[in-house]
Amino acid sequence: MPSCDSRWHFYFCSLMSRIELIKGDITKIKADAIVNAANSSLMGGGGVDGAIHRVGGPAILEECRKIIAKQGSCKTGEAVVTKARNLPAKFVIHTVGPVWYNGKKNEAALLAACYQNSLKLAIKHNLSSIAFPNISTGLYGYPKEEAARIAINTVKEFLDQNDLITKVYFVCFDEENCQLYKLQIQQN
């Protein structure tokens, strides 16, 4: 199996040229928005959530606090937006992935909703590039191969019907996810 380069580009048909796979740290990505794999409290945590708040600075948490005060918790599958503060991106879209319960709690639809709602929010804010981490595949325990399939198919379907998003980056932190995404993208 070929190994992942640090930055891996895929250019296939015109649709796939809008999708790019990157191996690395999402906090370094200069997109209009990066997506955070948050929890319903939006009060930060470990994994990519911890990294985004650490690099972005405390103003992101402050903005999250205001959102929660206004609307209550962010439910699984939903998404909200804050500024990205000290990050190179312009905005952070915080979405809450499903915890994996052996597929018994509607996890697949909830995971797809994370990608759909994040993309919808990007369009609502006139953003044209967005970077996703591998939502739910860390602490929340979603099987990585299935999560990659859902992520790619959901994004592809969305891009098919929306021209406003010109670039979607899938940012894989670990080699296993990177290989899985590579295979899935090649199969499309």
Gap between the Cα atoms of 65 and 70, Å rounded: 9
Q: Among 59, 67, 68, 139, which residue interacts with ligand AR6 (rule: CB under 6 A)?
A: 139
Reference 36, options 50, 23, 16, 22; nearest CA is: 50
Report CA dihedral (75, 90, 31, 187) to the nearest 10 degrees. Answer: 10
Binding mask 81-120 for ligand AR6 (x = CB under 6 A): ----------------x-----------------------
**Catalytic-labelled residue, pool 5, 25, 32, 49:** 49
Percentage helix, strand, coil for the chain under 3-state DSSP, each rounded to 5: 40, 20, 40
User: What is the residue whose two structure tokens read 């992942």?
Assistant: 4
Q: Among 173, 178, 180, 185, which residue interacts with ligand AR6 (rule: CB under 6 A)?
A: 173
Q: Among 4, 19, 35, 48, which residue interacts with ligand AR6 (rule: CB under 6 A)?
A: 48
Nearer to ligand AR6, 121 or 138 (CB): 138
Nearer to ligand AR6, 27 or 154 (CB): 27
Gap between the Cα atoms of 91 and 63, Å rounded: 12
3-class DSSP assignment, residue 37: strand
Say whether 49 is catalytic: yes
Residues that bind ligand AR6 (CB under 6 A): 25-27, 37-39, 45-49, 51, 97, 133-140, 171, 173-174, 177
> Catalytic residues, which ones?
49
